[in-house]
């Protein structure tokens, strides 16, 4: 059996490096379109200030992008280095979108980002704009493919277990691509990136306005950010991926957990705004809820029921029992491929194989399984409720905060009076870190809410790891923490330095603080 410490450390390392990576991704995703908008205005109007905007915000984008690339390679390595059995077990499906991401998206993004920075004097205006657009398309396509891969982890469609190769194999590529879960996730995630990009420009522009310098530059940037930000904030809320949560069973479990819905309520279920969660007794001590709301959002209907945690757990217990049969039959078939009876039993129980594998956390063979262990495995299928419940609520609250802020920013942009409303500018400035917090909370809900699985219902997390020593994990974790801390310090130093200096850092002679850095 795999040591629990190894599993915990592998999870910690993946979570830490993934969350760190996602500090840089959303800004990249959002900024690419902001740059496209700014440069389009430049090409259409010929006003050089818009070119300067593209170049200055592009400079900050570049500082951020460098760390996005750096930390992105870690993610690709880590499936192989630390999750070897996962890579073997589902690589047939999971590897494809990753490879296509490289072929279709990364090449596009990375080739044109070079021309974006270096091609200003060598390309015509239109050519350069095309380069910027292709860079943005590449960035967004890469989000699409990685979210197709991640969507499959939540809702594994278009695949089947093959006992000969001892792994999951693809049966339909299009089911994988058009997985509703992946599509909902893609729209939600890129929208969150757009909000991040818009808030970034809005905040820093507000800072210039509060200090009364580079005012024209800041005003123009603010207006674009307000409009783009408001559209994105609407999109991130309306197309919030809650609709995706009813698609597969994985998401039903996650939905029940993040809504602290212990009992199955008559449809349409109410939405708990806050609740006193009692994890030990599996109930809420008190709650304040809005009737009907969750049922309406979650199922888009009045009569479809959403299962509560108790019901899901009871159903999963049956699946564990069936899964034990699947594991037994699989062992027999692997031992003797001509055993037709075992093959037939495997066929019957195959859909629950993953639930049987949950027991491998406690026992080596299915002969050692006791009813208590079956209960335990069934209980394991429910993630902890309170962290999900509160993370989700905080994320949503921040989301509505963006909606209000960007709405007001847009309103006063249209009225032309935002630059005098210092309270608005200060609000925008204080909100600067919040998009990142919301993004991290969202990913926490998505990934922690999938536990105890790496692939929902198919492969338990504790079987997915590489057979490494605990010492190796401590060593690599320490290495990542060290490298990433230094890199973050350097990145923030440059970000703050160039943000403070502002467009003067371009050295064009048109802005304040030209001499602060040469």
Partner 1 sequence: MLDYETLKVIWWLLVGVLLVGFAVMDGHDMGVGTLLPFVGKNDVERRIIINTVGPHWDGNQVWFITGGGAIFAAWPLVYATAFSGFYWAMLAVLWALFFRPVGFDYRSKIQDARWRSTWDWGLFVGGAVPPLIFGVAFGNLLQGVPFSFDEDLVSTYTGSFWALLNPFALLCGVVSSAMIAAHGAVYLAHRTEGAIAQRVRLTAVAAFVVMLLGFAAAGVWLAQGIDGFVIRSAVDTAGAANPLAKQVTREAGAWLANYQRWPLTLALPALGFAGALLAMLAVSRGRTLIAFVASSLAMTGVIGTAGISMFPFVMPSSSHPASSLTVWDSVSSHLTLSIMFWAVVIFMPLIIAYTGWAYRVMAGKVTADFIRENEHSAY
Nearer to partner 1, 239 or 513 (CB): 513
Nearer to partner 1, 416 or 482 (CB): 482
Omega before 352 cis (within 30°)?
Answer: no
Q: Which of residues 263-282 bind partner 1 (CB under 8 A)?
A: none
Contact status, residue 255 vs residue 261, Cβ threshold 8 Å? yes
Parallel/antiparallel/unpaired status of strands 271-278 and 167-170: unpaired
164 scored as a contact of partner 1 (CB under 8 A)? yes
Omega before 268 cis (within 30°)?
Answer: yes
Q: In the Cβ-directed half-sphere of 51, how many Cα atoms lie within 13 Å?
A: 17
167 scored as a contact of partner 1 (CB under 8 A)? yes
What is the three-class DSSP state of 381? coil
Which of 73, 238, 302, 404 contacts partner 1 by CB under 8 A? 73
Nearer to partner 1, 74 or 252 (CB): 74
User: Taking CB under 8 A as the rule, which mask of x and - marks residues 302-341 in contact with partner 1?
Assistant: --------------------------------x-------
Strands of 282-390 (E only): list them: 283-290
Which of 47, 48, 173, 279 contacts partner 1 by CB under 8 A? 173
Contact status, residue 68 vs residue 491, Cβ threshold 8 Å? no
Cα separation of 15 and 10, whole Å?
8
**Window of 82-90, 225-233, 245-253, 427-435 that interacts with partner 1 by CB under 8 A:** 82-90
141 scored as a contact of partner 1 (CB under 8 A)? no
> In terms of Cα–Cα distance, which of 30, 31, 51 is closest to 40?
51
Which of 232, 498, 502, 511 contacts partner 1 by CB under 8 A? 498
**Window of 85-93, 197-205, 373-381, 388-396 that interacts with partner 1 by CB under 8 A:** 85-93
Nearer to partner 1, 197 or 504 (CB): 504
Total length of the chain: 518
362 scored as a contact of partner 1 (CB under 8 A)? no
Output the smallest distance, CB 513 to partner 1, in A: 13
495 scored as a contact of partner 1 (CB under 8 A)? no
499 scored as a contact of partner 1 (CB under 8 A)? no
365 scored as a contact of partner 1 (CB under 8 A)? no
> Which long-range contacts link 40-48 to residues 24+ away (Cβ below 8 Å)?
40/129, 41/224, 42/125, 43/125, 43/126, 43/129, 48/510
48 scored as a contact of partner 1 (CB under 8 A)? no
Nearer to partner 1, 252 or 350 (CB): 350
What stretch of H or E contains 403? helix 385-415
Report the alpha-carbon angle 21-488-472, nearest 5: 65
Contact status, residue 249 vs residue 456, Cβ threshold 8 Å? yes
Which of 28, 32, 54, 82 contacts partner 1 by CB under 8 A? 82
122 scored as a contact of partner 1 (CB under 8 A)? yes
User: Taking CB under 8 A as the rule, which mask of x and - marks residues 372-391 in contact with partner 1?
Assistant: --------------------
């Amino acid at each position: 059996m795999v040591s629990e410490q190894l599993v915990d450390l592998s999870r910690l390392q993946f979570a830490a490096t993934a969350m760190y990576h996602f500090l840089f991704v959303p800004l990249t995703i959002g900024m690419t379109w902001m740059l496209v908008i700014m440069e389009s205005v430049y090409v259409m109007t010929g006003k050089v200030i818009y070119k300067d905007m593209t170049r200055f915000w592009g400079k900050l984008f570049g500082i951020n992008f460098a760390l996005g690339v750096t930390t992105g390679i870690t993610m690709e390595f880590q499936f192989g280095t630390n999750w070897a059995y996962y890579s073997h077990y589902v690589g047939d499906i999971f590897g494809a979108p990753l490879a296509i991401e490289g072929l279709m998206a990364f090449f596009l993004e990375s080739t044109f980002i070079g021309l974006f920075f270096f091609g200003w004097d060598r390309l015509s205006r239109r050519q350069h704009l095309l380069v910027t657009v292709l860079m943005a398309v590449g960035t967004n396509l890469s989000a699409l493919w990685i979210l197709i891969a991640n969507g499959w982890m939540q809702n594994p469609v278009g695949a089947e277990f093959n006992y000969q190769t001892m792994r999951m194999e693809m049966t339909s590529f299009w089911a994988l691509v058009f997985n509703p879960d992946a599509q909902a996730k893609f729209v939600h995630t890129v929208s969150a990136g757009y909000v991040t990009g818009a808030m970034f420009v809005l905040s820093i522009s507000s800072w210039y306005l509060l200090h009364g310098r580079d005012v024209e530059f800041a005003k123009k940037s603010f207006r674009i950010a307000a409009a783009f930000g408001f559209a994105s904030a609407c999109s991130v809320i309306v197309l919030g991926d809650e609709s995706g949560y009813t698609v597969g069973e994985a998401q039903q479990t996650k939905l029940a957990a993040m809504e602290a819905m212990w009992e199955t309520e008559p449809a349409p279920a109410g939405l708990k705004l806050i609740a006193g969660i009692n994890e030990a007794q599996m109930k809420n001590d008190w709650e304040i809820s809005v009737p009907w709301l969750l049922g309406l959002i979650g199922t888009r209907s009045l009569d479809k029921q959403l299962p509560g945690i108790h019901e899901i757990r009871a159903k999963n217990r049956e699946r564990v029992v069936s899964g034990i049969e699947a594991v037994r039959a699989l062992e027999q078939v692997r031992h003797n491929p001509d055993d037709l009876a075992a093959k037939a039993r495997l066929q019957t129980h195959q859909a629950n194989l993953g639930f049987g594998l949950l027991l491998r956390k406690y026992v080596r063979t299915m002969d050692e399984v006791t009813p208590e262990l079956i209960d335990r495995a069934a209980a394991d299928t429910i993630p902890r409720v309170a962290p999900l419940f509160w993370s989700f609520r905080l994320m949503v609250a921040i989301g509505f905060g963006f909606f209000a802020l960007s709405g007001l920013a847009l309103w006063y942009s249209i009225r032309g009076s935002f630059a005098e409303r210092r309270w608005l500018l200060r609000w925008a400035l204080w909100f600067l870190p919040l998009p990142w917090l919301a993004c991290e909370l969202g990913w926490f809900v998505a990934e922690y809410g999938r536990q105890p699985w790496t692939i929902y219902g198919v492969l338990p997390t504790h079987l997915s790891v590489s057979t490494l020593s605990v010492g190796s994990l401590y060593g690599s974790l320490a290495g990542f923490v060290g490298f990433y801390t230094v890199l973050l310090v350097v990145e923030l130093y440059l970000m703050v330095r160039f943000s403070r200096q502002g467009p003067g850092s371009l050295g064009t002679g048109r802005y304040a603080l030209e001499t602060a850095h040469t």
